Amino acid sequence: MNVVEAIRTRRSVGKVKQDPVPQESIEQILEAGTWAPNHKHTEPWRFFVMREGGRELLGNALADIAQSKAGEKTEEEVAAARESALSKAMRSPVVIGVAVVPSDDPKVIELEEYGAVFAAIQNMLLQAHALGLGAVWRTGDPCFHPLMNEAFGLREKDKMLGFIYLGFPDMDAKPGKRDDAASKTVWVNEPVERLNGSNQS
């Protein structure tokens, strides 16, 4: 699969089989992530591969976060919330947590570290697709909760930027649709001090 085909045909696959994913495939996906562009070569990504019982690490973190937000709920409601959170970690045979660990070098712009890890995640999704695997990148408030950092041994300034749920597809991917690039592009061919805000859509 060439790169243009991979980019255009990749889709989020939220339903996968529980069949094991070969170790070699997982390693190829991780290696793809490490080739993302990163300023000053800081390589700020960290990967956490969870399989089989290891997925309980994520499940327990999600459950703890859900319980911390339970408020005035009854014990039964809290237990149900924990059970629901635990089950989310079991939706695929492999879950890869991807975190940013920003450099402590004051010359490194922290936002650029985030950009590098987002690029790594895209590389990983494309590699998974090229291998015939289904993947979905799940994010949300629990990713950024202090209890998530605590569960994965991350520092306060680090962030879990999402979880890639990975497996063999168990659904047909829906056709994709995007606005064409022309509708999101401003061409600047002559000297100009600033752009008018009306050019931005």
- The response to whether 137 counts as a known ligand-binding position is yes
- The response to whether 55 counts as a known ligand-binding position is no
Query: Residue 58's domain spans which residues?
Result: 3-173
- The response to whether 138 counts as a known ligand-binding position is yes
Is 67 part of any domain? yes
- The response to whether 84 counts as a known ligand-binding position is no
- CA-nearest of 94, 112, 92 to 102 is 112
- The response to whether 155 counts as a known ligand-binding position is no
- Give residue 198's pLDDT band: very low, low, confident or very high (50, 70, 90): low
Identify any residues that bridge with 163 across adjacent strands, giving them in sequence order.
97, 138
- CA-nearest of 8, 201, 23 to 96 is 23
Is 196 part of any domain? no
Is 193 part of any domain? no
For the chain, the domain total comes to 1
Is 35 part of any domain? yes
Residues above pLDDT 70, as percent of the chain = 98
101-113 pLDDT, tens digit per residue, is 999 999 999 999 9
Is 181 part of any domain? no
Report strand pairing: 94-100 vs 159-167. antiparallel
Query: The domain spanning residue 147 has which CATH number?
Result: 3.40.109.10
With H, G, I as helix, E, B as strand and everything else as coil, classify residue 184. Answer: helix
